Amino acid sequence: MPCEEWCRLVERYRRAVNAYNEAVKPLGVQPGTAFNEIWSRMERARTKCDRRRADLLDHEHEHACLEAGQPNGAREVADIRTENLVLGDQGQSGG
């Protein structure tokens, strides 16, 4: 069963992914200096997203709260494999 901290970290990661998505949207629309400013905002959002993801994975590794009560230590929450939830946005789900 996921703990409160895991839920908090997932929410922080979700917000960071949404912010990154919003930062990327105008990327191809503006030329020149405006593009550079958009790119800079997008890179800051990506970096923040990476940090939030790392925080979540670190917690999962250290706390192992997702493995408790699961058969064979499977990491599954509400029929969603957490590896896909966390890695799916970066195409690293291993499938």
pLDDT tens digits for 18-40?
A: 999 999 998 877 788 888 999 99
Query: Which residues have C-beta within 8 Å of that of residue 57, sequence separation ≥ 6?
Result: 86
Contact 3, 65 (CB under 8 A): yes
CA-to-CA distance for 37 and 43, rounded, in angstroms? Answer: 10
pLDDT score at 71:
54
The type of residue at 28 is G
* Residues 75-82: contacts with CB under 8 Å, at least 24 apart: 77/2
Check: pTM over 0.75? Answer yes or no.
Answer: no
pLDDT (tens digit, 9 = 90+) per residue, 46-79?
999 999 999 999 998 888 887 755 555 555 555 5
Q: Is the pLDDT of residue 81 over 90?
A: no
Q: Is the pLDDT of residue 8 over 60?
A: yes
pLDDT score at 85:
54
Q: Is the pLDDT of residue 91 over 50?
A: no
Tokens of 22: 């919003």
